[in-house]
A and B are shown apart, each in its own frame.
Chain A
Amino acid sequence: QVQLVQSGAEVKKPGSSVKVSCKASGVTSSSYTITWVRQAPGQGLEWMGRIIPILGVPDYAQQFQGRFTITADESTSTAYMELSSLRSDDTAVYYCARSGIMAAFDFWGQGTQVTVSS
């Protein structure tokens, strides 16, 4: 069974950066894709970007290009997302998810709360 475990909640100051990890286990294929999704308080789901760890090349939603970086360490089956120049409206829960059959997001991490506050 695939399991994605994310790092813990973070509280950050405006202008700083945050890096969230997502460790995968139980994945049998080496060419899986990890996607990052954001959910602001009381809001819907927003696709941020994706990476295939074995290739290491990320894709980003246009609105996240520039401040958002996805990386992966294939040796530890861990994906990372880093958001820089944090603003108060970056306060959200950040999820990682795996793309499975028909590219549906079939397994999700538990989510990481990032709070940006002075």
Chain B
Amino acid sequence: QAVLTQPPSVSGAPGQTVTISCTGSSSNIGAGYDVHWYQQLPGTAPKLLIYGNTNRPSGVPDRFSGSKSGTSASLAIAGLHTEDEADYYCQSFDSGLNVYYVFGTGTKVTVL
């Protein structure tokens, strides 16, 4: 059902910067709908990381940043920490399918 495409995995050494892409289409990201990002640590519920493309909820470190352009969005993690090892999902609204909300395929971030 996922209509937002993410790379299956990205990796980096502690302190490095990694970027996760989220590619959509004209019925979701390209239509101007907001993109949100979630972090899911193993065995836990997802946690909101970025909302409205670029905004961080209270308590989320400023190492995490989001951007959006055209039909894509990106999440950057600067100064990678070992505790950032998790699955990350983008999410948006879709007007082309009777599904309303769509998630990305998910990206596993590995800290080397």
Binding site for B on A (CB under 8 A): 35, 37, 44-47, 50, 59, 61-63, 95, 97, 100-106, 108-111
In the complex, per-residue mask of B88-112: 1 if CB is within 8 Å of any chain A CB, else 0: 0101010001111111111000000
How many B residues are at the interface, by size bracket?
A: 20 to 34
Given A50-B100, A95-B46, A108-B45, A44 and B38 touching (CB < 8 A)?
Answer: no
Tell me the minimal C-beta distance from B27 to chain A in angstroms. Answer: 14
Q: Which residues of A contact B101 (CB under 8 A)?
A: 35, 47, 50, 103
Binding site for A on B (CB under 8 A): 1-2, 34, 36, 38, 40, 45-48, 51-52, 55, 57, 89, 91, 93, 97-106
Partner of A44 from the list B36, B57, B99, B106 (CB cut-off 8 Å) is B106
A44 touches B104 (CB 8 A): yes
